[in-house]
Amino acid sequence: MFKVNDNYLKLPGSYLFSTIGKKVREYKAANPDRSVISLGIGDVTQPLAPAIIEALHGAVDEMAAAETFHGYAPDLGYEFLRNAIAKNDYADRGCEIAADEIFVSDGAKCDSGNIQEIFSVDNKIAVCDPVYPVYVDTNVMAGRTGTYDAKTGTWSDVIYMPCTAENGFAPELPKETPDIIYLCFPNNPTGSTITKDQLQMWVDYANKVGAVIIYDAAYEAYISEENVPHSIYECVGARTCAIELKSFSKNAGFTGTRLGYTVIPKDLKSGDVMLHSLWARRHGTKYNGAPYIVQKAGEAVYSPEGKKQLAGQVGYYMNNAKTILTGLKEMGYTVSGGVNAPYIWLKTPAGMTSWEFFDVLLEKANVVGTPGSGFGPSGEGYFRLTAFGTYESTVEALERIRKI
Ligand SMILES: *Cc1c(COP(=O)(O)O)cnc(C)c1O
């Protein structure tokens, strides 16, 4: 008789956004006359930029003729895209990453979930708290996290690194030594980031203790301040300890188009085994490549027109972030983030829990946000708003919050 992977049964409750979706649907059903504004889920709203649309149309036409038709893509991704990435995201920033160290994929969520497969089940992971839920949940599915304590909302075999107002939402080196360290900067959900010196400290630490850093740079395009690293490979020694994940979702609006990549330097080894070889083996076995059409669209992200148009799009969202940040400050809220990331992290007022504030915001302002506690125990008492709405709905949402 078949048995299920019972690690799945250890996963607590439903996924955060399903719970939010259900609450919002129920509210709308009970109040059909109200218009609800969502500043909740981290999904973009601006259409694909003209340079990307043009590349997509061109690639579709190529697929219509036998001479220019494309079937299966190469395992690592098309060279035209990997070369564009290597040049623009790495060489131009002084980072030493070769095109054949880049693995093109259909997004950073899959990669961040799948990457744990190439590590021993005995490895211990360390995560920031609060954290993007994918890192922990995929390790639960693999049986790497021990037992769940519903009271504290933590796993026995996971090292949590609290990111709170006290440490400026930047993790401190853990007391217990981890094998795998997940870092995401600029951060989802807190919108915080760390300086190059701070990231260098993590790289030095990982090299010292023999840990690997899985660095999620999905929000790199939102960095506006100097001295914030755009890639972990800006740090000395990162080639021997760091994997970097990137996505086209937040910088170029590819959430529905799907494109991302993972960088594994060939110097990153366990003994004499290159992680690059293992990931190449996995990629070749389980993945058949991002569509040619989408990789052509990805190439357009790096064209001069593409870059200009996307800077405008990021600027549009960051203007929303500024609107939310300054608006909430005026109202007396304690807020952070929103400067190098499209997320605003606010302290819930009057000692409300995250979910209590969610209900107040939904019912009194008809605005949807994300409860901080959904991202980990240290997120309790916090709340996330995103800058991914339209400018008009963002302004309207703030007007409504002002009237609570
Ligand atoms: C949105 C997001 C991603 C990107 O996911 P895709 O699968 O590329 O759309 C990755 N990491 C974090 C932390 C994110 O918020």
Give the tens place of pLDDT for each residue, 147-158. 999 999 999 999
Give the tens place of pLDDT for each residue, 169-217. 999 999 999 999 999 999 999 999 999 999 999 999 999 999 999 999 9
Ligand 1, residues at Cβ distance < 6 Å = 42, 107-109, 112, 132, 184, 188, 216, 218, 247, 249-250, 255, 260
The separation between CA 197 and the C-alpha centre of its own chain, rounded to angstroms, equals 22
pLDDT > 70 fraction of the chain, expressed in percent and rounded: 100
* Direct distance between the N- and C-terminal alpha carbons of the chain, in angstroms, rounded to an integer: 57
Give the tens place of pLDDT for each residue, 319-341. 999 999 999 999 999 999 999 99
Q: How confident is the model at residue 96 (pLDDT cuts 50, 70, 90)?
A: very high
Q: How far is the CA of 388 from the centre of ligand 1 (A)?
A: 14
**Residue 360 is inside which H or E element, if any?**
helix 354-360
DSSP state of 373: G
- Six-digit token string for 23: 């609450």
Nearest CA to ligand 1 atom 15: 188
Give the tens place of pLDDT for each residue, 339-373. 999 999 999 999 999 999 999 999 999 999 999 99
- Six-digit token string for 339: 């400067």
Q: What is the DSSP code string of 251-285?
A: HH-TTTT--EEEE--TT-EETTEEHHHHHHHHHHH
**Residue 368 is inside which H or E element, if any?**
strand 367-368
- Six-digit token string for 353: 């829990």
CA-based torsion, 139, 144, 145, 146: positive or negative: positive
C-alpha atoms less than 13 angstroms from C-alpha of 208 in its C-beta half-sphere: 8
Q: What value does the mean pLDDT of the chain take?
A: 97
Label the pairing between strands 125-129 and 180-184. parallel
Distance CA 156, CA 134 (A): 17
Q: How far is the CA of 357 from the centre of ligand 1 (A)?
A: 25
SS3 243: strand
Q: What count of residues does the chain have?
A: 404
